[in-house]
């Protein structure tokens, strides 16, 4: 469409904090997890990645730093 910018895609994945081991749902650049063992989240945290369980999805809170970063991005002119 004319006048609209292409938005960058991000996906959410529960991942453990490298220092505490506590899980949080982080946002990552891309359409979906490609199986990489480590990635940098939108908040800047480098986290280990693995296939999450249903319990991880239900209990891990959203990383508010990732959420604020994505909310602050401009998606249309």
Domain membership of residue 2 (yes or no) is no
Supply the pLDDT for residue 62. 96
| Domain containing residue 58 | 10-72
Domain membership of residue 28 (yes or no) is yes
Domain membership of residue 3 (yes or no) is no
Token output for 29: 């650049």
Supply the pLDDT for residue 77. 52
Q: How many domains does the chain have?
A: 1
Supply the pLDDT for residue 4. 47
List per-block mean pLDDT (blocks of 10 residues) for the chain, which spans 77 residues: 64 90 94 94 94 94 95 70
The CB density around residue 63, as the number of other CB atoms within 10 Å, is: 23
Round to whole Å and give the CA distance between 2 and 34: 31
């Amino acid at each position: 469409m004319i006048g609209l910018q292409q938005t960058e895609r991000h996906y959410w994945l529960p991942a453990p904090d490298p220092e505490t081991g506590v899980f949080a749902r982080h946002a990552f650049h891309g359409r979906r997890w490609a199986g990489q063992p480590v990635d940098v989240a939108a908040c800047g945290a480098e986290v280990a990645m693995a296939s999450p369980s249903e319990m991880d999805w239900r209990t891990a809170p959203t990383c508010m730093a990732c959420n604020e970063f994505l909310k602050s991005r401009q998606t249309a002119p």
